[in-house]
Amino acid sequence: MTAGCVFQTVWNVVTDRPPAEGIRDYDLFYFDGSDLGWDAENDVIQAGEAAFRDLPATVEIRNEARVHLWYEDHFGVPCASHTSTEAAIDSFAATTCCLGIRLGNDDRWRVYAPHGLADVFNLVVRPNPVLAPRHVYESKTRRWREHWPELTVLPWPETGQQPPPSTPAGCQAQ
């Protein structure tokens, strides 16, 4: 599970809102490079729709091995093939969004947070100009501010500038 459903739940708890308020959907990523055809991904999506049909939420399931096939048409910039779900998370438009949770083979929950968790809990949104274009970041942050006006949204860096660091890359909580 990744993206808004994770960090926005934290924002809701920190700001004393109901846990699901403002969350549009719940993103489930998986990585299967053995079959990049739409039919294989659609079979997983259909199975998920059947499994989650009684939930009062929209669950979106995507194979991150296929992102490079549609990303440019959707966002206007090319995307190299991802090598894992973590590589896909690393390319989100804001470092605050770079967060994922999975159940490991040992039945323990694993948190992937390459930029740490301080910004998430401190309601800071920091740009991550690795892949997503500026307009994607700005569109998302406008929408988020409507629900969470307490957010501090840092501006997209001017050309040649890097955004201020959050925490060292590669930092993972387990």
Distances (CA, A) of 45 to 12, 50, 72, 114, 166: 28, 9, 22, 27, 34
Q: Using an 8 Å Cβ cutoff, are 156 and 128 in contact?
A: no
pLDDT value at residue 158 = 86
Q: pLDDT digits over 138-164, tens only? A: 999 999 999 999 999 999 998 755 545
Determine the pLDDT at residue 122: 98
* pLDDT tens, residue by residue, 42-97: 999 999 999 999 999 999 999 999 999 999 998 888 999 999 999 999 999 999 99
DSSP 8-state code for residue 97 = G
DSSP output for 1-69: -BTHHHHHHHHHHHTT--TTTT---EEEEE--TT--SHHHHHHHHHHHHHHHTTSSS-EEEEEGGGHHH
CB atoms within 10 A of CB 27: 18
pLDDT at position 41, please? 96
The pTM (predicted TM-score) of the whole model is: 0.85
- 1-19: pLDDT as tens digits: 998 999 999 999 999 999 9
Element (H, E) at 123: none
Domain boundaries, the chain: 4-153
pLDDT at 168: 38
Residue 77: half-sphere exposure toward Cβ, Cα within 13 Å: 12
* pLDDT interval class at 172 (50, 70, 90): very low
